[in-house]
């Protein structure tokens, strides 16, 4: 999945307006123009779509955490230059104030059944022997589960 698709899925799952996405960036002490957000959210087949970099998505996710959980005092975390699906899943879990059981419940909504041990492997550090790489499909399923949990009347996200 591209960063643009991830941002679109987050926007759809949580019913975020472009202004709310801009506010998340502001919470990470970065200002982005409405046009830039709109161009990130366009379908990749649209010529005016602008590819979102890992660092830009990391800034959004850090700001989204601040927006949802409150900004911590002191220096803000530096955005990662390279993001993995595991990092994205972890940042969303933090922003949405979810524990492992909550993530399991969200995945259960879309028919994915994992154990607490299995989900914990996605939240470990990469050098841990029990670390498991989060594939695109699991991240997609998680975002669909978040969507169905937050917007039960909405249709499945298609793109």
Range of the domain at 126: 3-150
Spatial separation of the C-alpha atoms in residues 91 and 159, rounded to whole Å: 22
137 assigned to some structural domain: yes
157 assigned to some structural domain: no
Assign 8 to helix, strand or coil. helix
- pLDDT value of position 72: 83
Q: Which residues contact 62 (CB under 8 A, 6 or more apart)?
A: 27, 28, 76, 77, 79, 91
Output the CA angle 157-142-56, nearest 5 degrees: 80
- pLDDT value of position 136: 97
Is the CB of residue 133 less than 8 Å from the CB of residue 84?
yes
127 assigned to some structural domain: yes
What's the predicted TM-score (pTM) here?
0.92
Q: Which portions of the chain are predicted below pLDDT 50?
A: 158-159
Number of domains in the chain: 1
């Amino acid at each position: 999945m591209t960063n643009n698709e991830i941002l679109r899925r987050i926007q759809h799952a949580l019913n975020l307006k472009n202004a709310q996405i801009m506010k998340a960036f502001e919470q990470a002490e970065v200002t982005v123009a409405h046009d830039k957000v709109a161009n990130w959210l366009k379908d990749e087949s649209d010529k005016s779509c602008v590819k979102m970099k890992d660092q830009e998505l990391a800034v959004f996710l850090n700001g989204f955490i601040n927006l949802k959980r409150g900004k911590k005092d002191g220096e803000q975390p530096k955005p990662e230059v390279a993001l993995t699906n595991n990092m994205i899943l972890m940042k969303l879990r933090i922003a949405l104030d979810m524990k492992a059981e909550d993530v399991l419940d969200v995945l259960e909504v879309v028919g994915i059944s994992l154990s607490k041990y299995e989900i914990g492997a996605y939240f470990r550090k990469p050098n841990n022997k029990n670390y498991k790489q989060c594939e695109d499909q699991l991240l997609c399923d998680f975002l669909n589960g978040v969507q169905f949990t937050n917007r039960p009347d909405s249709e499945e996200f298609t793109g």
